Amino acid sequence: MSVLFDPTAISSEKKTFKPLPEGTYACNVLEFQESKVDLTTKTGNVIDIIKPVLQVNGDKHEDFANQRIFANVFITKNTITEKGTQPPTERDNKSLYYFLDSVNYPMETEEVVVEGTKKNAIVLPTADDEIIKADIVGKPVMVTTRNKEYEKKDGTIGTDTQVRMWMKWENGEAIESEDSDLPF
Task: Determine the pLDDT at residue 89.
Answer: 83
Task: Determine the pLDDT at residue 16.
Answer: 63
Q: Which residues pair with 112 in a beta bridge?
A: 119
Query: How many other CB atoms are there within 10 angstroms of residue 39's CB atom?
Result: 13
Predicted structure pTM score: 0.82
Task: Determine the pLDDT at residue 2.
Answer: 79
Task: Determine the pLDDT at residue 112.
Answer: 87
- Rounded mean pLDDT, 24-39: 96
Distance CA 52, CA 39 (A): 18
- Rounded mean pLDDT, 159-175: 95
Q: Residues 126, 129, 130, 134: is their CA dihedral positive or negative? A: positive
**Tens digits of per-residue pLDDT, 65-91?**
999 999 999 999 988 888 888 888 888
Average pLDDT over the chain reads 90
